[in-house]
Amino acid sequence: MAWLGRRTQKSLGIGLLALFAWGGAAWGQAVIIAIPPSNLNPGEKSEGFLGFGCYDIHTLLLINCHVTVKLDSLDPAAMIPPFFGGHLGHAPQPVGTVRDSNGTGPGGDFVEGDTLKGFSVVYTAPEGSGQIQVTNRLVPPPSYICLSEPDGTGACKHVRRINVGIQLSELPPDPFYRVIRQDRVRHPNGTSATSRTIMKLKTLALLYHHLTDQKTLSINDISLPQGGLFDFRRDWSAPHKTHRRGAQVDINRAPLDPNGNPLLPIDCAVDYELQAAVLWLANGTNRPRLVCELNGEPDPDGPFKHINFE
């Protein structure tokens, strides 16, 4: 809550009336909103609402203030580590959109309105994960000044962060699989997963090890540290359209020998041991499910191996 005082004898209160319905960090902390990325499931938007109001501290009467809301990517120098959501060298960062909840249209990175007109903001998260800076500036009526977080002009300026992402864990080491990834430059960490996926993947690797006379499963991409879309710039020849929720795992065509050396590649359609291990683990259900792919699309004769665990 930010407070204002009048240069005469009166005071004014100004503040954030409503946070996102699912919560987040307390007002005054660096990250005030936690929201998942959009399109974790196809066509699914991730949205929340923000409302503002101004009132006289003594009379509690509502007073009109003009509000502006601006979205920005964070300064890389202030980020730890110096990349967002597991992406490195992927500028510009997608920040999502804001729009007046009373209006229509897709929105943009800036919106403004007046509190006495019922101004509230709809925030739509991007498909990529990461922290985003949101700046709220509330300009009170003439002769009022801000007592909390003043910007030097009599207005209040709140600079906070939106954390777009989901909770995942890094895939731990295991004697029955090894991680061999190609794109470590733009995505240094691409093997984060849900705890359920990790447990099932460990069991699958053990089954594969026994069925293949001690071959080791070779793991490629799973998900970024906070989930969301890998290829949000869509400049890969075979883009990752899934891999957003920590439940989709790519298996390299070539398994490894007990010393970790690559063996001859085995195409998905003829990797019978992997098929058998997935079927045993599914135990009559539809997950996990092995999907053969070609150029990022399902293809029964495709050489590449994609497993959906959840």
Query: Which residues of the chain form beta strands (DSSP E)?
Result: 2-6, 11-18, 31-35, 47-56, 62-63, 66-73, 97-100, 110-114, 120-124, 130-139, 144-146, 156-164, 169-170, 177-179, 192-193, 217-219, 248-251, 289-294, 297-298, 304-308
**Residue 298 sits in the same domain as residue 226:** yes
**Residue 35 sits in the same domain as residue 63:** yes
- The CATH number assigned to the domain holding 213 equals 3.30.1380.10
- Residue 14: CB atoms within 10 Å: 28
**Residue 154 sits in the same domain as residue 64:** yes
How many domains does one find in the chain? 2
- Name the domain boundary from 164, 185, 206: 164
Q: So what's the pLDDT on residue 226?
A: 94
Structure tokens belonging to residue 54 = 């101004």
Phi, psi of 176 (to 5 degrees): -105, 0
**Residue 142 sits in the same domain as residue 56:** yes
**Residue 174 sits in the same domain as residue 294:** yes
Which residue range(s) make up the domain with 245? 169-308
- Name the domain boundary from 147, 164, 181: 164
Distance CA 8, CA 227 (A): 52
Distance CA 226, CA 261 (A): 31
Distance CA 193, CA 211 (A): 25
**Residue 116 sits in the same domain as residue 187:** no
pLDDT tens, residue by residue, 97-116: 999 998 888 899 999 999 88
Distance CA 61, CA 65 (A): 13
Distance CA 209, CA 273 (A): 9
Nearest to 171 by CA among 137, 120, 205, 123: 205
Q: How confident is the model at residue 82 (pLDDT cuts 50, 70, 90)?
A: low
Name residue, tokens 């991680």: 179
Phi, psi of 35 (to 5 degrees): -150, 140
**Residue 21 sits in the same domain as residue 156:** yes
pLDDT tens, residue by residue, 244-270: 999 999 999 999 998 899 999 999 999
Region of 28 (left: φ > 0; alpha: ψ -120 to 50; beta: rest) is left
pTM of the predicted model as reported, rounded to 2 decimal places: 0.85
**Residue 86 sits in the same domain as residue 192:** no
pLDDT at 6 over 50: no
**Residue 126 sits in the same domain as residue 213:** no
Q: How confident is the model at residue 77 (pLDDT cuts 50, 70, 90)?
A: low
- Residue of 77 and 53 predicted with greater confidence: 53
**Residue 150 sits in the same domain as residue 197:** no
**Residue 64 sits in the same domain as residue 191:** no
**Residue 273 sits in the same domain as residue 201:** yes
Q: What's the one-letter identity of residue 162?
A: I
- Name the domain boundary from 164, 192, 220: 164
